[in-house]
Every structure is written in C-alpha cells, then in structure tokens.
Amino acid sequence: MCGIVGYIGAQEAQPILLTGLKRLEYRGYDSSGIALISPKKNSIGIRKAPGKISALEKLVKNKPLSGVVGIAHTRWATHGAPTQANAHPHHDCAGQIAVVHNGIIENYEALKIQLIKEGHIFRSQTDTEVIVHLIEKFYKNIPLEEAVSMALKLLVGSFAIGVISTNEPNKLVGARLGSPLIIGVGKGENFLASDVPAVLGFTKEVVFLDENEIVVLDKDHFKISNLEGKTVFKATTHISWDIDQAEKSGFDHFMLKEINEQPEILENLINSRIHKKTGKIFFQEQNIPETKLQDIKNIFIVACGTAYHAGIVAKYALESLCQVPAQIDVSSEFRYRDLLIGPETLVIAISQSGETADTLAGVREAKRRGCSVISICNVLGSTLTRESDGVIYIHAGPEIGVASTKAYTAQLTALYLFAFYLAQIKGVLSSARINKLLTQLRKVPQYQTEILKEQKRIAVLARKHSHLGSFLYLGRNVNYPSALEGALKLKEISYIPAEGYAAGEMKHGPIALIDEYRAVVCIAPVSKVYEKMVSNIQEIRSRKGKIIAIATAGDQEIKELTREVIYIPKIEEIFSPLLVVLPLQLMAYHIAVKRGCDVDQPRNLAKSVTVE
C-alpha cells in the first residue's frame, strides 16, 4: 500500500517528511519521493528514487531541499514499474503543482488520452499523473482546493491524495475517497498522512477523514469540507498507541490486521473488475487475446502452499462454470513431471509474491512447451508477472504476515472473476447467470464483516483447544481445499501437527486417528455434500473426537452433533471458501498467540521462498 506524508509549519519539512515515510515502511513499497515548495525560488523541488527510502535519503543528502511545506510518498506500484519516473510526487506541466496519491484510478487511460490531446505532457506510466494534470487544467483563478475537487469528481476508483502548489505556498490540500487519510494536528504545524504512525512522533492528536472529504491545511488551521464544498466539522482524536501498535492499526499482529482487511480488499477488487456501464468483467493487464482463450482446451494450475489451495478452489470453479478440464499440481512437482501440455493449454500460475522459485520454474517449463500463461499475483512487476503472457493483479496491498490470509481470499476472488470472464468469452454462461453469480460474490465482503464481528467468540473457542496435540481438518468439494488451508494456517504459526483431508477419505485411514485427544474441524456449510459431512461428523462423534464445526447460520441439525459451532452466513456453495476460511484463519491465529508463537514471523519460514 502506498504511503502519504504532508507537512506545513515553521520547521524545515524535509527531515520531518522522511521520518514520516520511514514510519510507513511497514506498508511495503518499491520507490519513494519528496516535494517541497522552495520559498526563495517560488518553485517546487522534487527528489525521487526507486528502492528503499535510504536511496532517497542519499539523494537529498547530495541535493537537499529546503522549505516548510511539502509532501512525500512511498509507492507500492500498481500501474507502471517501480522506476524513478513512476515514483511520486508527480507535477504538472508548469512544475507549479505536485501530487502524491494512494489508490487506483480505474479510468485513468481515457483521462490521460484527453489530457494529452489538450497538450498536457506526461512523464510516467502511472495512473496518478492524470490527477495533477486535471488539477492544472482547472486551477485558473480559483482556490487550489476547488481545482482539486473538480478534478476528483472526474475520477473513478479509490484514492487518497496530497497536493501543494507554488501559487498558494501556505496551503496543503488533502482528499480521501476509498483510501485512508488523516490529519495530524500540531502546534504551529499540521500534517497529512495515510496512517497514524507517520505523525505519531510529532503529535498524538489526529483527525480521520471520511469518504469524499477534502481538507485545506495551513500551519495553524485545518478546514474539512465535502466535494460539494459543504464544511464538515470534526473533533480530534487522541492516539494512545505507541508506534509499533500504530503500524498494525492497533491490532496486536500484522496477521490479525490483514485478516480484518479482507472485506475492504475484496470489495475494491470486485468493483475494479466490473465495468461500471456494461457490467462486463474486464482485466486490464490480461493480455492474452480473447480468441486464444476461446480455443483453450484445458487448464493447468500451478502454485505452492496457500496459493495452491486457492488453485484447487479455482479448479472446481473453472470446471463447473467454464466446462473446461482443469488440472492442478504443486509447482515443485509440476516442474519435473512429463507434462502433457502444449499450445492448447492455459497455465494459471498463482503466487502472492511472484518470486516463488518452484512456480517460476514451472512457468518457464510451460512456456517452453508453448502454453499461454496467466499469473494471479499481488506484487506488481515481480518476476512471475514479467514472464507471464497475462497478469491478474489481486491488489491486496503488501502482506506482511508470513501466513497468507488476505492474499488467499483475494486470489480466490480474482480466480472466480476470471472463471466468469472465461465463461463469458467462451459463451458457456449466460449474462443472466453471470450476473446472478456476481450478485452473490458482491455479498461476500459484507458476509465476511459479519463473521469478523464474532472474533471474540472464535478466540475463546480457539484458546479452549490450544492445548491439543494435533488437529484434523475435513472438508468436501470446494471446501476440501479449505480443509487444507485451515491445516496449513494452524501448523505454520502454532507448530501443532495439523492435516487437511477430503472428508470422504476418512474411512481410508485417518479415522484411525480419531480419539478424545484430537480436535477435528469439520467444514459443513449448506451444500450438495452436507449430508455426507454430517455422516462423517457422526463417525467422529462415535469415536469421541472433539468436533469443531463450521456451519451455515440457522443450521439446527449441526447443534445436535457438537456444541462447538462457528456459523457463516448462507451463500452459494461455490463461494463458501471465501467465508469458511475466516474462522480457520482466526482459530489458527488465536491458538498460536495462546501458545506464545511468533505469529507474524514463524520459525523456519520466509514470506517468499525464492530458492528451490
């Protein structure tokens, strides 16, 4: 996620802005930059550098900036690789306005074409740059904030921005629509930031902007209004967190913060992939011609770990919705198999980091055999995305916790959308059926929010079982991979032996494990295999297994079989993995915390396995 910091006051802004950027490093980024209004020259000085903030610090050490008003930014690339030119801040043609931006402008291409026609000169590949040229276009004899407001009304997407201009050097403007932005209220100075940690070293008094709000700051005042210009009055909030807590937005661990980010991330992901006017699904970076996708005879999914589990769900979805045979294998096996794949095969590579060695090797082998490759990835510009024919970014923001949570559900969502897109292209699903499915999918963020409201109860249930020596997770059909994912989450952060199994396989061996010393997590939402799951639960019950059931709200039958039930809202079966996984993530988290494990950085594990 990008980071924004702004300052207006009486002190030199450069060190303050750099300190603020460093406080936002945890959000992940791949370039950074700073812009100050130089009072002497009545100009804007800008310094930008790819890589870590240390590269920017080196730049400003050699070529320092001076001024008391400025903006700064850490960029998590979404459009355009992490280069100096694409780093923020971006400025207008005349170099009198500078902007930093967090979020995605979905309609930037059309705006950019129009602005170029009007003579504006673009210097980057970013969506952000259209903002500063739009402001320049409107900024004629009106206050900066009015020009900003006019520009923002043309944007579609989610964003938070900071703006400065030499025309009004004692003014700092900020605005929010879809991405967080706060005001830091100081004495004789004020701040703008994406998140609390950036200002905590300077003030603990903050104001949280809400959607569609714009703020004008000078060193002693701030004025908030909505985009229609109506003034909005807000009290300041005193922040009691320390820096470490603030980086996690008050959560104890990044993993818990990321679990709670899922509804918003999926909401943005779904909205950004459905055309506002036509309702059609589209993927900007998916560059494989639709005619080629129409001719695909089979699909092979390749991934590791959690991404592999997302791939199994995708296998079920693609076969059911697109009527295309779909195989899957873990990358480390795929890369060494005598694969029967070729130009008629579409390979889907799933990877949060885009740097997993086994998955990269698998993709290279697939390319060698003439396959088309689409990658489902979170990190823009990562190796996998550069070696794929098409990319679908999941825009989940940096995932700091080693145990993947928000990336998993974002991968699932992107894969469902791709299945609809492929079905749409192949003409095997009617628009009416696709719209019905999309209506269900759009309910997921709200349903996830409902589940997250049960966190306290899930934590109590988890802690009650945290002493057990092993866990078995059982699921069927699209929730067989949910069982695998639940087991992986638990084992990788609590180090408790945990196995995920297709419930129908119980009688072929695992049932020998059942006794009163083992917890069995049974994933049994309303589905075409529900009765089969009930039979499995009864088999476990008769052998005194400790049953924890994940079931659909309103299910009366399950209550007769176990007292330990976590309910999820009723949803179309195919989407249930998006809901089932939240209780599984939370259970793993609270068990690991109870056992005193290092939840965010578990032993022996890396966030990205870049070696074989």
The residues assigned a catalytic role are 2, 607
Cα dihedral sign for 389, 427, 576, 540?
Answer: negative
Q: Between 106 and 492, whose beta carbon lies closer to ligand AGP?
A: 492
Q: Map the footprint of ligand AGP across residues 29-88, applying CB under 6 A.
A: none
Beta strands in 1-153 (DSSP E): 3-8, 31-38, 43-50, 69-75, 90-91, 97-105
333: left (phi over 0), alpha (psi -120 to 50) or beta: alpha
Residue number closest to ligand AGP, CB atom: 305
Exactly one of 3, 80, 184, 305 binds ligand AGP (CB under 6 A); that residue is 305
- What's at 438, amino acid-wise? L
- Minimum distance between the CB of residue 116 and ligand AGP, rounded to whole angstroms? 37
**Residue 359 in the binding site for ligand AGP (CB under 6 A):** yes
Q: How far apart are CA 74 and CA 81, in angstroms?
A: 14
Q: Which residues have CB under 8 Å from 1's CB, separation 6+?
A: 27, 28, 76, 102, 179, 194, 397, 398
Q: Between 246 and 403, whose beta carbon lies closer to ligand AGP?
A: 403
Q: Map the footprint of ligand AGP across residues 319-358, applying CB under 6 A.
A: 351-353, 356
φ, ψ dihedrals at 158, nearest 5°: -120, 140
**Residue 264 in the binding site for ligand AGP (CB under 6 A):** no
Q: Between 88 and 315, whose beta carbon lies closer to ligand AGP?
A: 315
- Minimum distance between the CB of residue 353 and ligand AGP, rounded to whole angstroms? 3
One DSSP character per residue, 472-535 reads: EEEE-GGGHHHHHHHHHHHHHHH---EEEEEGGGGGGTGGGG-STTEEEEEEE-SSTTHHHHHH
Whole-number Cα distances in Å, 216 to 186, 190, 199, 494: 15, 10, 17, 48
Whole-number Cα distances in Å, 225 to 37, 100, 136, 230, 326: 24, 20, 21, 5, 52
**Residue 492 in the binding site for ligand AGP (CB under 6 A):** yes
Piece of the chain touching ligand AGP by CB under 6 A; list 34-42, 107-115, 385-393, 398-406: 398-406
φ, ψ dihedrals at 392, nearest 5°: -120, 110
Output the six-digit token pair for 596.
């005193």
Q: Are 499 and 510 in contact (CB under 8 A)?
A: yes
Counts of helices then strands in the chain (DSSP H, E): 20, 25
- Minimum distance between the CB of residue 257 and ligand AGP, rounded to whole angstroms? 15
Piece of the chain touching ligand AGP by CB under 6 A; list 402-410, 461-469, 543-551, 583-591: 402-410
Q: Map the footprint of ligand AGP across residues 194-223, applying CB under 6 A.
A: none
Q: Between 307 and 472, whose beta carbon lies closer to ligand AGP?
A: 307
**Residue 258 in the binding site for ligand AGP (CB under 6 A):** no
Q: Between 127 and 258, whose beta carbon lies closer to ligand AGP?
A: 258
- Minimum distance between the CB of residue 29 and ligand AGP, rounded to whole angstroms? 18
Exactly one of 304, 318, 374, 514 binds ligand AGP (CB under 6 A); that residue is 304
Output the six-digit token pair for 35.
């812009």
Q: Between 492 and 555, whose beta carbon lies closer to ligand AGP?
A: 492
Cα dihedral sign for 163, 165, 167, 168?
Answer: positive
Exactly one of 105, 366, 402, 474 binds ligand AGP (CB under 6 A); that residue is 402
- What's at 228, amino acid-wise? E
Q: Between 215 and 307, whose beta carbon lies closer to ligand AGP?
A: 307
- Minimum distance between the CB of residue 361 and ligand AGP, rounded to whole angstroms? 12
**Residue 601 in the binding site for ligand AGP (CB under 6 A):** no
- Minimum distance between the CB of residue 98 and ligand AGP, rounded to whole angstroms? 35
Q: How far apart are CA 87 and CA 128, in angstroms?
A: 10
Q: Between 189 and 600, whose beta carbon lies closer to ligand AGP?
A: 600
**Residue 609 in the binding site for ligand AGP (CB under 6 A):** yes
Output the six-digit token pair for 425.
């292209």
Q: Between 108 and 408, whose beta carbon lies closer to ligand AGP?
A: 408
Residue 558 is classified by DSSP as G
**Residue 136 in the binding site for ligand AGP (CB under 6 A):** no
Q: Between 32 and 352, whose beta carbon lies closer to ligand AGP?
A: 352
- Minimum distance between the CB of residue 305 and ligand AGP, rounded to whole angstroms? 2
- Minimum distance between the CB of residue 380 and ligand AGP, rounded to whole angstroms? 14
Q: Are 531 and 515 in contact (CB under 8 A)?
A: no
- Minimum distance between the CB of residue 482 and ligand AGP, rounded to whole angstroms? 14
Piece of the chain touching ligand AGP by CB under 6 A; list 5-13, 255-263, 304-312, 520-528: 304-312
Whole-number Cα distances in Å, 325 to 297, 319, 347, 482: 7, 6, 12, 21
Whole-number Cα distances in Å, 523 to 418, 502, 538: 26, 10, 13
Q: Between 134 and 588, whose beta carbon lies closer to ligand AGP?
A: 588
Piece of the chain touching ligand AGP by CB under 6 A; list 83-91, 197-205, 259-267, 302-310: 302-310
Strand partners, 565: 549
- Minimum distance between the CB of residue 605 and ligand AGP, rounded to whole angstroms? 6
Q: Which residues have CB under 8 Å from 596's CB, separation 6+?
A: none
Piece of the chain touching ligand AGP by CB under 6 A; list 51-59, 298-306, 414-422, 466-474: 298-306
**Residue 608 in the binding site for ligand AGP (CB under 6 A):** yes
Exactly one of 190, 306, 345, 494 binds ligand AGP (CB under 6 A); that residue is 306
Coil, strand, or helix at residue 408? helix
- Minimum distance between the CB of residue 414 and ligand AGP, rounded to whole angstroms? 13
**Residue 307 in the binding site for ligand AGP (CB under 6 A):** yes
Q: Between 402 and 520, whose beta carbon lies closer to ligand AGP?
A: 402
Q: How far apart are CA 310 and CA 489, in angstroms?
A: 13
**Residue 382 in the binding site for ligand AGP (CB under 6 A):** no
Whole-number Cα distances in Å, 533 to 472, 475, 602: 14, 8, 32
**Binding residues for ligand AGP, how many (CB under 6 A)?**
15
320: how many CB neighbours lie within 10 A of its CB? 15
Piece of the chain touching ligand AGP by CB under 6 A; list 41-49, 130-138, 400-408, 521-529: 400-408
| Burial class for 104, CB neighbours closer than 10 Å (0-12, 13-18, 19+) | buried
| Burial class for 102, CB neighbours closer than 10 Å (0-12, 13-18, 19+) | buried
Exactly one of 31, 74, 404, 413 binds ligand AGP (CB under 6 A); that residue is 404
Piece of the chain touching ligand AGP by CB under 6 A; list 79-87, 278-286, 300-308, 536-544: 300-308
Q: Which residues of this protein are in contact with ligand AGP, per CB under 6 A? A: 304-307, 351-353, 356, 359, 402-404, 492, 608-609
